[in-house]
Chains A and B, each alone.
Chain A
Amino acid sequence: MGGLLLVATLGVAACGPGASSAPTSGPSTGGGATTTPTTAALSGTVAVDGSSTVFPISELMAEEFENANSGVQVPVAFAGTGGGFKKFCVGETDINDASRPIKPDDAGEGVACEANGIDYVELQVAIDGLTVVVNPDNAFATCLTVAELATIYGPESPETLLWSQVRAGFPEEEVERYMPGADSGTFDYFTEVINGEVDAATTHATQSENDNELVTGVAGDVNAIGFFGFAYFVENQDKLKALEVDGGDGCIAPTVDTINDNSYSPLSRPLFIYPDVGKAKTRPELKAFVDYYLANTSEFSAEVGYIAMPDDALAAEVTEWEAAVGG
């Protein structure tokens, strides 16, 4: 792992301005790393798609990896955890970002992967605290219970819901609900944990696969409420106010510590990547990217605003990956 980090740093130093040169294939320039045997010039494309929550980490990984390996292209999209799995399990992508585990019995996911012979491994890369946000000018809401969140987002929620119906004493203003789209793992996770059933939610909300749109919406509307990955809150702290959530043990605010020790519950959750093991065995650039990902995820996850996993948990993931891909 450390060796790989060293290689990456040397690569960045030696290869010069990365993505502005235009090779579509071909050896990476320079790269003076003779310290490890795995430095054959990498080339090819690694297609990543999936969760918009994990997207900021993957985006950063892709960029840094491309800077270090100018022969490799890593396009990253964010069709949503579910949307991404559907593509992954028909072989269209090489890695799926996921903010929830794969559904083994789902026809578009586990069943399809098995039918198409796609062998994957579940690698946790970070921890997220799903954050519920309101507008900074919202003076009345500081903490909501799980039951109140269910009132707002549950499938029975009426088209016009007033804040006063959520809790007596709140103003008689309409609740402007924002939430991720149905292909989103964040959506799946939230609905399961808050509403009690996956995919069960009100249809009277503004929903978008793009969490940035949710940020803009909540930031621009005094009566709005929304939820997304912690990183999107951290990135936009000047525009949003995070609510404390009472999961039964009192109001807990999402912070690095409360998410890490799981006291921010029930909204603390793991973030995953699912690489295609079969492809990784035959394509060195894919294996190298996943190696790079695991090696740098503690640093990059924290940089984009998520919480790094404990070292021993991460080491376990690395071992699992090495075993799956055969060394």
Chain B
Amino acid sequence: MSAIVPAARLGHRFEPALMRRRLTGTLFYGACLAAVALLLVTLITLLVDVFVRAAPWLDVDFLTGAPSSRPARAGILPALVGTFEIGLFVGVMTFPVGVAAAIYLVEYASDSRLNRLLQTNISNLAGVPSIIYGILGLALFVQALALGATIFAAALTLSLLILPVVIIASIEALKAVPSAQREGAYALGATRWQMVKRSVLPAAAPGIMTGIILAMARAIGEAAPLILIGAFTFVTFLPNPFEGQYTVLPIQIYGWAIRPQDDFQGISAAAIVVILALMLILNALALVVRARLSRHIQW
């Protein structure tokens, strides 16, 4: 790290040197702009390409029909239902466990070694590739617990996948609550749990709910772990969650994308549009929930 030379020391070489330095700065700024522009252009190209391909295939029949060997008759209803069911299961399963774990780590455990170990463990889990969770789900839920290739097993696997993310988001939300909230509750004679339940949780609710919704969005976009636990088949009927075969949007997209005919690429693109729309809705929902719940917070 070389020192910055004050202008006075440069003497007669000041002006040209300054111009050169400014030029370099401008070039760098140009590079930054170019980088951002490149990212923007790439995103737009991706969306346009997908939408153009998808346009001829998006209609009500597509949303309410079943997959077919003929692209013209294909639909994504089983995949949509599977995605909704899994999303719901995962949300319901991770919400209590994730929030409970976060509460423990922030409110109950002091800054002990145990606490730090648990926290490090959770951040490491957040970085484990999703396919490894698929392997875990295969060995544990599908085989050892003999749940078979069902939506229930898929939901359990995906819950494990996003639990670290939910915990981390909840921890952030809880930490953001000012200690005055807590101390006020204690001053009034509350026990620790009463304090958490009545003072801290409502205050942290917006952040927690946002975290869960975004984690659910992530979960429904996953395909690799589900392929591991047996989701990849040609399914035309609606799934029973505890038995039998199922499919979800990302897997349906994959199944169609690997068929070379242009028509299949078209319906794959249409399914992509649907899942992007779902993501958009979930992200918007997260914003709305945050705004709604934050209204009661007064600091």
A residues contacting B by CB (< 8 A) are: 18-20, 22, 24, 45, 56, 59-60, 62-63, 66, 73, 75-77, 210, 212-213, 215-216, 219, 235-236, 239, 304
Contact of B260 among A19, A22, A62, A215 (CB under 8 A): A215
Contact B258 A20 (CB under 8 A): no
Q: List 26 A-B contacts (CB under 8 A).
A: A19-B237, A20-B64, A20-B66, A20-B75, A22-B237, A24-B244, A59-B234, A60-B69, A62-B236, A63-B69, A63-B236, A66-B237, A75-B234, A75-B235, A75-B245, A76-B233, A76-B234, A77-B233, A77-B234, A210-B258, A212-B259, A213-B258, A216-B260, A219-B260, A236-B261, A304-B69
Contact B233 A19 (CB under 8 A): no
CB nearest to A300 among chain B residues: B69
Contact A212 B260 (CB under 8 A): yes
Number of residues of chain B lying within 8 A (CB) of chain A = 20
**Among the interface residues A20, A76, A210, A239, which one has the most CB atoms of the partner chain B within 10 A?**
A20
**Among the interface residues B75, B77, B240, B259, which one has the most CB atoms of the partner chain A within 10 A?**
B259
CA distance A60 to B69 in the complex (A): 6
- B-chain residues with CB within 8 Å of residue A60 when the two chains form the complex: 69
The smallest beta-carbon distance between B2 and chain A, in angstroms, is 50
CA distance A212 to B263 in the complex (A): 13
CB nearest to B73 among chain A residues: A63
Contact A19 B236 (CB under 8 A): yes
- B-chain residues with CB within 8 Å of residue A219 when the two chains form the complex: 260
CA distance A56 to B70 in the complex (A): 10
The smallest beta-carbon distance between A16 and chain B, in angstroms, is 13
B47 at the interface (CB under 8 A from A): no
B residues contacting A by CB (< 8 A) are: 64-66, 68-69, 75, 77, 233-238, 240, 244-245, 258-261
Contact of A66 among B65, B236, B240, B259 (CB under 8 A): B236
CA distance A63 to B237 in the complex (A): 10
Contact of A75 among B64, B66, B233 (CB under 8 A): B233
The smallest beta-carbon distance between A230 and chain B, in angstroms, is 15
The smallest beta-carbon distance between A19 and chain B, in angstroms, is 4
- B-chain residues with CB within 8 Å of residue A216 when the two chains form the complex: 258, 260
CA distance A22 to B240 in the complex (A): 9
- B-chain residues with CB within 8 Å of residue A19 when the two chains form the complex: 65-66, 236-237
- B-chain residues with CB within 8 Å of residue A77 when the two chains form the complex: 233-234
* Interface contacts beyond A18-B66, A62-B234: sample of 15 additional A-B pairs, CB < 8 Å, sorted by A: A19-B65, A19-B66, A20-B65, A20-B66, A24-B238, A24-B244, A56-B69, A63-B68, A63-B236, A75-B235, A75-B245, A216-B260, A236-B260, A236-B261, A304-B69
Contact B244 A235 (CB under 8 A): no
CB nearest to B240 among chain A residues: A24
CA distance A62 to B259 in the complex (A): 19
**8 smallest A-B Cβ distances: which pairs?**
A19-B66, A22-B238, A215-B260, A59-B69, A19-B236, A216-B260, A212-B259, A73-B237
CB nearest to A212 among chain B residues: B259
CA distance A76 to B66 in the complex (A): 14
CA distance A212 to B268 in the complex (A): 14
CA distance A283 to B234 in the complex (A): 22
Contact B245 A212 (CB under 8 A): no
The smallest beta-carbon distance between A297 and chain B, in angstroms, is 15
- B-chain residues with CB within 8 Å of residue A18 when the two chains form the complex: 66
- A-chain residues with CB within 8 Å of residue B75 when the two chains form the complex: 20
- A-chain residues with CB within 8 Å of residue B233 when the two chains form the complex: 75-77
Contact A235 B261 (CB under 8 A): yes
- B-chain residues with CB within 8 Å of residue A63 when the two chains form the complex: 68-69, 236
- A-chain residues with CB within 8 Å of residue B238 when the two chains form the complex: 22, 24
The smallest beta-carbon distance between B142 and chain A, in angstroms, is 14
CA distance A198 to B32 in the complex (A): 59
CB nearest to B74 among chain A residues: A63
CA distance A212 to B237 in the complex (A): 23
CB nearest to A210 among chain B residues: B258
CA distance A112 to B258 in the complex (A): 33
The smallest beta-carbon distance between A224 and chain B, in angstroms, is 13
CA distance A289 to B259 in the complex (A): 26
CA distance A218 to B150 in the complex (A): 35
CA distance A213 to B256 in the complex (A): 11
Contact of B244 among A45, A239, A304 (CB under 8 A): A45
